[in-house]
């Protein structure tokens, strides 16, 4: 029985449940929310659609019902719109949500670990990088990592694909570091059919600036339209769960502690298996990109340090 928990039934939690169900990522999904009526409503609604075929069972429950889960998606907390993190000129970005969401994590994670001590915990809530460190400290084990820049990397690939008129799956490109304003785009290693993207750009500086801006502000554009950035991260979260459940050894840019960059959690290409992040594969970077990654790590560390003041 492949059982998955989702703690937090807001827009992102609901999107995660829908993605897990449609992708048949697991046999059973337990949806937990501080207001049970909400998780009951979401689970009931999805169940009626699931009656058409043999799909994932989505049920509402409480923390105790997480017993037996192989992985738990932690989506609880205030979102960007509620937390006032939608100013395009604000360099803090999602980090504005850290204090409030860290408090919520410190309350929830011990109960989650008590119910499902062997589960891998996947941090989805913004900002996922410092919250991964909070969750790891409270959980007392290392089977904790964040969704990190997986979605950012997909956005990067999508915008490059549009620019060159190819399918996103034909683009090999990564965004690393913080899932936030200091994310690092690895232009030097971006490829299409083995060709360096930088050699294919007709107006490199202008195109790079536009694509980076579109990717970094994609969440705000989405929020301005529908109130929450939810569907992309829901699909990404389901894909990460699959890598854990199947012990795939898939290499994904997710967030975990990086000693080489000061110890704070940030995203690097990581081998994902049944126990979470098994190891990190350091990509090739030029000097500018490595400096940017170190600056991104410091930005995260500074935010985490403010939690202790």
Taking only the tens place, the pLDDT of each residue in 144-153 is 999 999 999 9
Domains of the chain by start residue, with CATH: 3-146 (3.40.50.720), 150-307 (3.90.110.10)
Strand order in the sheet with 171-172: 171-172, 191-192, 195-196
Q: pTM of the full predicted structure? A: 0.96
- Judged against a pLDDT cut of 80, whether residue 24 lies above it is answered with yes
List 141, 159, 163, 179, catalytic entry:
179
| 220-270 confidence digits (pLDDT tens) | 999 999 999 999 999 999 999 999 999 999 999 999 999 999 999 999 999
Q: Residue 100 pLDDT > 70, yes or no?
A: yes
Reported as a pLDDT band with limits 50, 70 and 90, residue 124 is: very high
Q: Are 140 and 222 in contact (CB under 8 A)?
A: no
Strand 71-74 relative to strand 250-257, pairing: unpaired
pLDDT over 90 at 90, yes or no: no
Confidence check: pLDDT of 295 > 80: yes
The confidence score (pLDDT) of residue 44 equals 96
What value does the mean pLDDT take over residues 265-283?
A: 98
Residue 102, CA atoms < 13 Å, CB-side half-sphere: 21
- State the pairing for strand pair 71-74/120-123: parallel
Q: What is residue 53's predicted lDDT score, i.e. its pLDDT? A: 74
Cα 223 to Cα 7, 71, 146, 256, 296, distances in angstroms: 22, 28, 21, 27, 24
Q: What percent of the chain has pLDDT over 70?
A: 100
- Residue 148: which region, alpha, beta or left (left: phi > 0; alpha: psi -120 to 50)? left
DSSP string, 187-217: GGG-EETTEEHHHH-SSHHHHHHHHHHHHHT
Q: What 8-state DSSP symbol labels residue 285?
A: -
Q: pLDDT for 169-188, tens place per residue? A: 999 999 999 999 999 999 99
Q: Sort residue 226 into left (φ over 0), alpha (ψ -120 to 50) or beta.
A: alpha
Which one is predicted more confidently, 304 or 87?
304
Cα(236)–Cα(249) distance, rounded to whole angstroms? 16
Residue 309 has pLDDT above 70, yes or no: no
Residue 179 a catalytic site member: yes
Lowest mean pLDDT of 27-41, 77-91, 223-237, name the range: 77-91
Cα 30 from Cα 72, distance rounded (Å): 9
pLDDT category at 280 given cuts 50, 70, 90 is very high
The band of 26, judged by pLDDT with boundaries at 50, 70 and 90, is very high
């Amino acid at each position: 029985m492949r059982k998955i928990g989702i703690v937090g039934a807001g827009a992102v939690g609901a999107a995660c449940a829908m993605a897990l169900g449609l992708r048949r990522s697991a046999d059973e999904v337990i949806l937990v929310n501080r207001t049970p009526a909400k998780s009951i409503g979401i689970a009931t609604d999805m169940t009626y659609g699931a009656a058409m075929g043999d799909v994932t069972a989505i049920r509402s429950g409480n923390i105790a019902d997480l017993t037996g889960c192989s992985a738990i998606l932690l989506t609880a907390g205030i979102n960007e719109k509620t937390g006032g993190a939608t100013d395009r000129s604000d360099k803090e970005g999602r980090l504005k949500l850290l204090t409030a969401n860290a408090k919520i994590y410190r309350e929830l994670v011990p109960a989650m670990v008590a119910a499902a001590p062997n589960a891998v915990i996947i941090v989805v809530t913004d900002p996922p990088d410092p919250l991964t460190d909070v969750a790891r400290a409270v959980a007392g084990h290392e089977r904790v990592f964040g969704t990190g820049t997986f979605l950012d990397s997909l956005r990067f690939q999508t915008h490059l694909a549009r620019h060159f008129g190819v399918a996103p799956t034909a683009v090999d490109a990564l965004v690393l570091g913080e899932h936030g304003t200091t994310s690092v785009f690895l232009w030097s290693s971006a490829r299409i059919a083995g060709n360096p993207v930088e050699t294919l750009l007709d107006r490199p500086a202008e195109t790079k600036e536009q694509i980076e801006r579109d990717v970094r502000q994609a969440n705000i554009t989405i929020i301005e339209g529908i109130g929450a950035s939810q569907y992309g991260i829901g699909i990404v979260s389901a894909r990460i769960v699959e890598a854990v459940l199947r012990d795939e050894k898939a290499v994904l840019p997710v967030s975990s502690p990086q000693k080489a960059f000061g110890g704070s959690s940030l995203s690097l290409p990581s081998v994902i298996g049944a126990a979470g992040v098994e190891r990190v594969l350091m990509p090739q970077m030029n000097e500018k990109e490595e400096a940017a990654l170190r600056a991104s790590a410091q930005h995260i560390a500074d935010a985490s340090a403010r939690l202790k003041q």
